[in-house]
Amino acid sequence: MSTVSVPDLVDAPVEDLLTLTAALVAVPSVSRHEGELADRVELRLAERAPHLERARVGNTVIARTQLEADRRIVLGGHLDTVPANGNETPRLDGDVLHGLGSADMKGGLAVLLRLAEEISAGARPRFGCTLAFYEGEEIAEEFNGLQHVFAERPELLAGDFAVLLEPTGGRVEAGCQGTLHLRAHFAGERAHSARPWKGRNAIHAAAPALHRLAEHGPGTVTVDGLPYRQSLQVVRIEGGVANNVVPDSCTLVVNRRFAPSYSVDEARVEVEELLTGADRIEVVNASPAAPPNLDHPLVAEFVQALGVDVEPKLGWTDVARFAARGVPAFNFGPGDPDVAHTAGEQVTRESVERCYAALVGFLGVAG
Amino acid sequence: MSTVSVPDLVDAPVEDLLTLTAALVAVPSVSRHEGELADRVELRLAERAPHLERARVGNTVIARTQLEADRRIVLGGHLDTVPANGNETPRLDGDVLHGLGSADMKGGLAVLLRLAEEISAGARPRFGCTLAFYEGEEIAEEFNGLQHVFAERPELLAGDFAVLLEPTGGRVEAGCQGTLHLRAHFAGERAHSARPWKGRNAIHAAAPALHRLAEHGPGTVTVDGLPYRQSLQVVRIEGGVANNVVPDSCTLVVNRRFAPSYSVDEARVEVEELLTGADRIEVVNASPAAPPNLDHPLVAEFVQALGVDVEPKLGWTDVARFAARGVPAFNFGPGDPDVAHTAGEQVTRESVERCYAALVGFLGVAG
């Protein structure tokens, strides 16, 4: 195995996208600790892309072209990673970069940094460009940098369509499914387990609903020709007081992933029917789906120009934040999504370079 | 409400059984902290029942008549209580004593202390008498004082039949059901909950077994004319990793209470069949049932002499330790079992005095 030393992020030459990705990996940025990486990105943009207008909200950095343009594209990538798994040090091995965040999604950030420099240097893209380097994607909603900017300075994210450079293996992942978590409480009454008829067993009370949920097949729904394979999963169950006590409480958490043809309310009503018998049901979180928008002119143009496969996005991603504001958005980025969040995370040179080439081609920048 | 001061345990006059019970309640003896009460009981026996042979094993105190007798009765009561629930201070209110352990089972201990003094003072019972004041009944098996004595000095507990003075409301509770706890593990494979087909949901895997267990009615079995109403309860369930992860593990704990006509193995096989689909099943604990032995001459004589109701014991109690050694045993003691382990625990003067009168009558002691 050959290993190569990794340059500082601000100094890394822009032409070598894989080494630039390694320099990004070398700055730790586990969620809620994105400050140093945000600082370095901001400094690099100031030095190397001075003609872009910069803004910062928390640890989210946004760079925008100031050119007049009919239409504007927002290109986004999150700065944060999941916690390290023995893979915090980047390792360049030929044309493969190993390390935390290499696929999810510092390869995408490298593409964004190079686009920023190309555009700032005078290449004139077909669209106004907004580049968003944001914090807090891998953790709870409340920490999400895009959400903060939409709440505090929405004008910074205004645009006609959006691309998030999440790892998709170079495919377009269109739209995204909605996600709904419900917590259901089944109540009972404690008693000695030798005399259960003096109480009521809450775990037994939950059994019919659990059985219905486990048997239910939520099916596949086709939207814009894309098959959205839905899911319904009991992700947690907990009940019990002591081994000799009839339990008075049992709690389930159900996760429903639904196609873009469903609203959150429709999904909720369906799950609540399966949960008949519960004493209380609460919504833990609910995020609407995003339509694939394949017939939107800009999306159609992007898909056609790139000639890449289009697949439905089955997980929920930040594209839904744009969709909720009427802005078509999709995921398209380097890296294999299946290695994200694993100890063996890696990204190839070819994957990063192909993503960059596709974007500069679409934007009409020399590249 | 009138309250009365409670005398020291060693000095409390033996004639007033309710005040003697209060003096016992005044010495805290939560399980694993029985030392002080064992010391005080031992000292009182030394001073007031000097003709009994005393022995001590851990915090279990045993006093035995040295008279020759054809037959020997073992009378037992545990020293320990469950943890306090705002009721640690005894409160005498007329003919009712409130406080932790008043019903379970310091009223029974007061009866034993008075019997010890009567017998030591020269009253000649029809049987050799062994009085056991033992530790660790309310907690895990390994702390049980009777078990320790059976293991270390079984001759101290030798006898022809045994009575435990657990609170039964003055009824004879005959035999006891067996109890079996099984833990069943259902395995799965983790995956993102948006793509569950890449894994296998362990909670869903457990659903059919849980449904069968909840539906199963284990029925009532009659032994010696006594109806043993059995039970089968899922007392714990736990599964889940995170709200977005298909769970790879789900664990159930099942408690089966079975009539004396079943062996532990028969009960285990029955529950294992209901748990079909589990990846692993382990026995958490198993205690055999005790037969009611109503046709044993001494038991029949006791029941007839007292003219009290006989009921099947549905919980597991220490009578099974004697039954396992071929010694018929039953529960018979003062106090309402339904107030045991509650904040409102109490015992009445009448309940304690009636139990004492019944025992001295049966033993042929003046009383």
In chain B, the percentage of residues whose pLDDT exceeds 90 is 82
Cβ–Cβ contact A316 with B under 8 A: yes
- The model's pLDDT over A277-327, given as tens digits with 9 standing for 90+, comes to 999 999 999 999 999 999 899 999 999 988 888 999 888 889 999 999 999
User: What amino acid is encoded at B152 in this protein?
Assistant: E
Does B193 contact A246 at a Cβ distance shorter than 8 Å? no
Digit-coded pLDDT (tens) for B291-327:
999 989 999 999 998 888 899 988 888 999 999 999 9
Contacts of A244 in chain B (CB under 8 A): 235, 255
Q: Which residues of chain A have pLDDT under 50?
A: 1-2
pLDDT tens-digit map of B86-110? 999 999 999 999 999 999 999 999 9
Alpha helices, H only, chain A: 17-25, 35-48, 107-120, 145-152, 202-215, 264-274, 297-306, 319-323, 349-363
CA distances from B229 to A146, B272, B317 (A): 61, 20, 16
Q: How far apart, in Å, are the Cα atoms of B264 and each of A292, B129, B178, B181, B270?
A: 60, 32, 7, 10, 10
Interface test with B, best of A137, A176, A203, A230 (most B CBs within 10 A): A203
Nearest to A243 among B181, B229, B240 (CB): B181
DSSP A105: I
* Contact (CB<8Å) B193/A231: yes
d(CA B338, CA B336): 5
pLDDT of residue B308: 84
- Taking CA–CA distances from B230, the nearest residue in chain A reads A194
Q: Which of B367, B225, B361, B224 is nearest to B305 (CA)?
A: B361
A93-98: long-range pairs with CB below 8 Å, 24+: A93/A1, A93/A2, A93/A3, A94/A2, A95/A18, A95/A348, A95/A349, A95/A350, A96/A346, A96/A347, A96/A348, A96/A349, A97/A18, A97/A21, A97/A22, A97/A25, A97/A346, A97/A347, A97/A348, A97/A349, A98/A344, A98/A345, A98/A346
pLDDT (0 to 100) of residue B338: 86
CA separation for the pair A359, A366 (Å, rounded): 11
Q: What is the predicted pLDDT for the residue at A244? A: 86
Of B179, B204, B234, which has the smallest distance from its Cβ to A204's Cβ?
B234
- Which residue from B minimizes the CA distance to A200? B233
Contact between B320 and B290 (Cβ < 8 Å):
yes
Q: How far is B184 from chain A (nearest CA, A)?
A: 13
Q: Residue B191 class from Cβ within 10 Å (0-12 exposed, 13-18 middle, 19+ buried)?
A: buried
Let me know the angle formed at the C-alpha of B337 by B336 and B339, rounded to the nearest 5 degrees. Answer: 75
- pLDDT tens digits, residue range A217-241? 889 999 999 999 999 999 999 999 8
So what's the pLDDT on residue A2?
Answer: 45
C-alpha–C-alpha distance, residues B321 and B114, integer Å: 25
CA distance B299 to B276: 42
- Does A214 touch chain B if contact means CB atoms closer than 8 Å? yes
B231: distance to nearest CA of chain A, Å? 6
Cβ contact, residue pair A214, B237, below 8 Å: no
CB neighbours of residue B190 within 10 Å: 17
Hey, is the C-beta of B227 within 8 angstroms of any chain A C-beta?
Answer: no
Active site residues of A: 80, 137
Report the pLDDT averaged over residues B245-257: 96
Provide the residue count of chain B: 367
The pLDDT of residue B250 is above 80: yes
Whole-number Å distance between alpha carbons of A91 and A4:
7
Query: CA angle at residue A324 from A320 to A327, to 5 degrees?
Result: 85
Instruction: State how far the Cα of B167 lies from the Cα of B77, in Å rounded to an integer.
Output: 10
- pLDDT of B367 > 60? The answer is no
Q: What are the residue numbers of the active site of B?
A: 80, 137
Q: With left for phi above 0 and alpha for psi between -120 and 50, is residue B254 left, alpha or beta? A: beta
